[in-house]
Amino acid sequence: MSVVGIDPSVDHPALAIWPFRETWQLKIEGQGSARLDALFCQIRGWCAAHAPNDLEAVFIERPTGQFPSPALVQANGVIQVAMVRGAVALFAHPLSVFEISPGTWKKEALGSGRAKKQDVLEWSEVELSKNPRRYPRISQDEADALAIACAGYRYLTRGS
């Protein structure tokens, strides 16, 4: 069983697969609705090219704060739909998509819901060192996506 974790963004979403410990960061071009269309196409294309055969679920960070950015909320929805649409062509089973708060994924993956950005980066470097395809330093977004995927995997395998 594998899980995809996503750190959403309008222009640089990051994705990771757990337990394979692989990460990607996409670059989305365009403005307004053209950017949302490009986001949809790139996420769906990523799914077709990289989704593992045993993909069970996608966990995506929920936009937080009293007034989350409308653009980020839109991007989050577009990413979720693109992952589901990309999976329809690949799998006979439906793909589950879950939103997860930053505090929840940090607590599950790192042990503290108040982990700082540097803590997540350091954790991700340790985890990526376990992948035989060594990675150069990764972005903060990729580190977050990796921790989100790890948290989702642990959540599903624990059966909570």
Residues 6+ apart with CB under 8 A from 128: 21, 23, 134, 135, 138, 146
Task: Per-residue pLDDT tens, the chain, 160 aa: give them.
Answer: 999 999 999 999 999 999 999 999 999 999 999 999 999 999 999 999 999 999 999 999 999 887 789 999 999 999 999 999 999 888 888 899 999 999 999 999 999 999 999 999 999 999 988 887 766 789 999 999 999 999 999 999 986 5
- Whether the CB-CB separation of 29 and 40 falls below 8 Å is answered with no
For the record, the structure tokens of 133 come out as: 């395809």
What SS3 string covers 108-154?
HHHCCCCCCHHHHHHHHHHHHCCCCCCCCCCCHHHHHHHHHHHHHHH
Q: What is the fold of 2-158?
A: Nucleotidyltransferase; domain 5 (3.30.420)
> How many residues can be counted in the chain?
160
The pLDDT value given to residue 48: 92
What gap in Å lies between CA 101 and CA 6, rounded to an integer? 12
